[in-house]
Amino acid sequence: MKSIKTAILLLLLTIGAVSTVKANVPDSVSIFIYNTPSDSHKGLHIAYSVDQKTWYPIGNDRSFVTSDYGPWGSQKMMFNPSVLKDGDTWYAVWQLNEKNNQFATTKTSVLSVWKPQDYPYVTTTDNKPLTVLNPLLTKQHGQFAVTFASKDGKYYQVTSSDFKTWSKATSVTSLKDTHKKCVVNGQTFTGDISTAPWTLIENLINKIDATQVREAKYNESMRDDERRFMNIHDLQANLTIDFAGSKAISNHLIGIFFEDINYAADGGLYAELIQNRDFEYTNKDNGNWNSKSFWKTEGEGSFNIATDNPIHKNNSHYAILSGGKGTKLVNEGFDGICVKAGEKYNLAAFLRSENGQHPTVYLREGDKIIAKTSLSSSKDWKQQKAVLAVKETSTKAELVIELSKEGSLDIDFVSLFPQNTFKGRKNGMRTDLAQTLADMQPKFVRFPGGCLSHGNGLNNMYHWKNTIGPLWERKGDFNIWHYHQSLGLGFYEYFQFCEDIGAEPLPVLPAGVPCQNSSVGGMGQQGGLPFKANATDDSVMTMEEYLQELLDLIEWANGDPKTSKWAKMRADAGHEKPFNLKMLGVGNEDLISDVFEERFTFLKNGIKAKYPDINIVGTAGPFFEGSDYEYGWQIAKKENVEIVDEHYYVNPGWYIYNQQFYDKYERKGPQVYLGEWASRSNRLENALVEALHITNLERNADIVTMSSYAPLFGREGHCQWNPDLIYFNGSEVHPAPSYYTQMLAGRNSGTEYIPSTITFVGTDGKDAPQSEGVTLRVNSSVVKAENGDLIIKLVNLLPQTVTMKLNLAGFDNFNKEAQLSVLSGNPTDSKAAPKNSTLTVGEQTTYELPAHSFSVIRITR
């Protein structure tokens, strides 16, 4: 005992001695912060020096902060940065381009993570916008000052006491350049010099080194695994399940995220077959489109677009078809109209005619007519209806409207809708696609975006009120993903669909700021919706009005139709009972600027004041680390937000090397909604690493309470984003292997997590530890379902079988025929699907985990 005490004492003394020895380094060093003028898409680099003569770049060419202003490509540039150190904090400003009256601001006290940027607007005292060129940051009399040149050749200055709110610009006589020139890696750069504690710089260097090592690991792929594991054979392991150590987990872990991207809504889940049915397409949707897109005329007549006296002000364009008998207006649908023999389709169109037209309307494929009917018309707009009974299946039919006699016909809102929709809903969903979603048994549906939600510019934010009511009164808009949103699939349809598949609705609406990558109506967040009304421009609503819009949504979804006008609209549309909305997302992976924070907090407080039981879903940027992630989480904690939406799209290796990502998360704070995630590419390898991640999510499902893969749908030939979970065309559905991972997880989710351990053993049954490379690639997760079934998920990423002994001692009275689903095959296969069978199980069961596989064993009672 005495000798142990002496040893501990000696150890402590040694540690003490080591810590008092001063390493031969200075307390602080000079740092030079600069950019690369030849490449403005790069950002701030940092070099350090002990003598201000020789400078050592940290991370070589690494940018520690890049400009996040506006769209990718044409913007996100940094010109003439100016960095000032004040106290322990570095403050930076820079010029954004040569035209805007904004500059960028950010700050840091750690150098590795910088605060999400803001872009203050600059005007003179009489509100004249001033382009900001060459901004120079100084501190004068306790105030930050940015002195800059403007296009009029004069100099100006704005000041701020908090680096947030800036004064109007006042004229100054000159701009004194205080930047320094230093040589880094043999090249002379212009920048600013300050000092930093050596420990900070050392930490930064270590962090960058560690990041580089980590990033190399993330690029590991199954392509090299045959070679990597060529000396590994006959793997055997025991799975021990600790029934006594179970914990409650979320029963909402697996959901879906529906965004109208890749033609997911119009031309996708929404069953409408006519494209540009209301002649409202414009070149804002897509540079080449206009009101006539996807329509053509045949015969001697003409096809014109008019806007006078339309069917509704929100639907102002209509077609005028004029000419002799037989003049045709033809719609090509979405890559052709897909119809099935023996099925019926509801045809509807608003028609108006002075000379009593009775147009023939038919579906044709080439010269063959496969369904035919006729419509009547009246002198005033009236919706005419008929049914087209299809005789032959076609995947490339066209809809033809043909004049019955010489004259003219006004035509608008032409709709062809299958009678056979999911659950027979009017204005409903395509059965095959909707069923594919229902088969996943998702516990919630997030909608309508994504970037679609916060939109491209202030005027493109998603307004749910534009999406309800009669279809021709809905106010369609351009889609940030470069096509059109008819909004035929609107909030009523989304909520109804959630109910139809037994999933909770999770609407995610803008936080009063558009997408930070916006390019329409200005750049980036454009200062967000204003708190005060603009006396000269009422096209943009105020934050007060926008808050009301969110409150009205809650009322519409949950209110009592007898007392609430919004709830009455829901009831009038066919849903008397409340939709029982419990959560609302405010914002989507926004830049966590001051502009965002002010608006998010305002909305959250406003919603909580009126509806304290609604859970608010906050947002933490597009990455698993970095400034938006850090600051998004800070705000969520400060504001006591219930749950935070995280997003990451990463290489397969990330999932292998980040299995403990959530084990370290604080359990007391907000919960996590992993709202968008996927591994890059579209093969079995991806499905398997995603399965691996799900086993780790399940272990953490006391804090990670919801997750959804993204994006969900991709119409073949129209994908703006890959990979997607479910590919489709007009008549077929092609789920990716990742779909099956989500489906197996969704159908086999649990409410109780039971810890399990995998131990590798030799042929003699004794422990035979394996390398990290092996152990990281084999994982398990055991959960108990609400009905008491035991579900064992096993992932094997290795190129060889693992013989696994399952020990079920502690779980009794179970059915000896367990259900087994296995997704396995060649890692490059993009069509892999699971196979179902049964497995005979006892207290001890040997199960051969196939190479490259995800197995789900469900033991019923």
In whole angstroms, how close is the CB of 647 to ligand AHR at the nearest point? 6
Candidate ranges 116-124, 361-369, 417-425, 446-454; the one touching ligand AHR (CB under 6 A): 446-454
Point out the catalytic residue in the list 504, 589, 676, 685: 589
CB closer to ligand AHR, 381 vs 629: 629
Beta bridge partners, 778, equal 796
Structure tokens at 397: 């039919």
Cα–Cα distance for residue pair 588/461, rounded to 1 Å: 11
- Measured CA distances, 214 to 209, 637, 649, 838 (Å): 9, 28, 16, 40
CB closer to ligand AHR, 558 vs 588: 588
Of residues 352 through 381, those in contact with ligand AHR by CB under 6 A are none
Query: Which residues in 739-763 are b (16+ Cβ under 10 Å) and which e?
Result: bbbbbbbbbbbbbbbbbbebebbee
Residue 341 neighbours by CB distance under 10 Å: 12
CB closer to ligand AHR, 711 vs 746: 711
CB closer to ligand AHR, 417 vs 655: 655
- φ, ψ of residue 319 to 5 degrees: the values are -100, 145
CB closer to ligand AHR, 310 vs 711: 711
Numbers of helices and strands, H then E, in the chain: 14, 47
Burial of residue 14 (CB within 10 Å: 0-12, 13-18, 19+) is: exposed
CB closer to ligand AHR, 449 vs 514: 449
- φ, ψ of residue 731 to 5 degrees: the values are -130, -5
Residues in the chain: 861
Closest CA to 180 of 52, 285, 308, 341: 52
Cα–Cα distance for residue pair 52/31, rounded to 1 Å: 8
Are 531 and 542 within 8 A, CB to CB? yes
- Is-catalytic flag, 589? yes
Structure tokens at 118: 């803001």
Beta bridge partners, 650, equal 679
Candidate ranges 33-41, 85-93, 397-405, 444-452; the one touching ligand AHR (CB under 6 A): 444-452
Candidate ranges 104-112, 140-148, 346-354, 445-453; the one touching ligand AHR (CB under 6 A): 445-453
Beta bridge partners, 485, equal 477
Q: Please identify which residue in 68, 589, 698, 789 interacts with ligand AHR, judged by CB under 6 A.
A: 589
Candidate ranges 198-206, 220-228, 301-309, 443-451; the one touching ligand AHR (CB under 6 A): 443-451
Cα–Cα distance for residue pair 305/411, rounded to 1 Å: 10
Residue nearest to ligand AHR (CB): 450
Considering Cα of 224, then 230, then 236, then 242, what sign does the dihedral take? negative
Q: Please identify which residue in 370, 595, 620, 710 interacts with ligand AHR, judged by CB under 6 A.
A: 710
In whole angstroms, how close is the CB of 557 to ligand AHR at the nearest point? 23
CB closer to ligand AHR, 587 vs 735: 587
In whole angstroms, how close is the CB of 293 to ligand AHR at the nearest point? 24
Q: Please identify which residue in 624, 721, 760, 814 interacts with ligand AHR, judged by CB under 6 A.
A: 721
Beta bridge partners, 107, equal 91
Q: Is residue 448 close enough to count as binding ligand AHR by CB under 6 A?
A: no
Are 827 and 688 within 8 A, CB to CB? yes
CB closer to ligand AHR, 44 vs 264: 264
In whole angstroms, how close is the CB of 506 to ligand AHR at the nearest point? 14
In whole angstroms, how close is the CB of 317 to ligand AHR at the nearest point? 28
Q: Is residue 449 close enough to count as binding ligand AHR by CB under 6 A?
A: yes
Residue 463 neighbours by CB distance under 10 Å: 18
In whole angstroms, how close is the CB of 673 to ligand AHR at the nearest point? 13
CB closer to ligand AHR, 649 vs 814: 649
In whole angstroms, how close is the CB of 268 to ligand AHR at the nearest point? 14
Per DSSP, the three-state class of 264 is coil
- Measured CA distances, 599 to 543, 593, 614 (Å): 7, 10, 18
Q: Is residue 261 close enough to count as binding ligand AHR by CB under 6 A?
A: yes
- φ, ψ of residue 218 to 5 degrees: the values are -65, -20
Considering Cα of 133, then 137, then 138, then 142, what sign does the dihedral take? positive
Q: Please identify which residue in 255, 323, 450, 476 interacts with ligand AHR, judged by CB under 6 A.
A: 450
Of residues 618 through 677, those in contact with ligand AHR by CB under 6 A are 622, 647, 676
Q: Is residue 588 close enough to count as binding ligand AHR by CB under 6 A?
A: yes
Q: Is residue 581 close enough to count as binding ligand AHR by CB under 6 A?
A: no
Number of residues that bind ligand AHR (CB under 6 A): 13
Q: Is residue 255 close enough to count as binding ligand AHR by CB under 6 A?
A: no
Candidate ranges 1-9, 225-233, 447-455, 564-572; the one touching ligand AHR (CB under 6 A): 447-455
In whole angstroms, how close is the CB of 807 to ligand AHR at the nearest point? 41
Closest CA to 632 of 119, 116, 111: 116
Q: Is residue 585 close enough to count as binding ligand AHR by CB under 6 A?
A: no
Q: Please identify which residue in 118, 192, 259, 278 interacts with ligand AHR, judged by CB under 6 A.
A: 259
Q: Which residue has the tokens 């035929």?
A: 488
- Which positions are annotated as active-site residues? 589
Residues lying near ligand AHR in the complex (CB under 6 A): 259, 261, 449-451, 588-589, 622, 647, 676, 710-711, 721
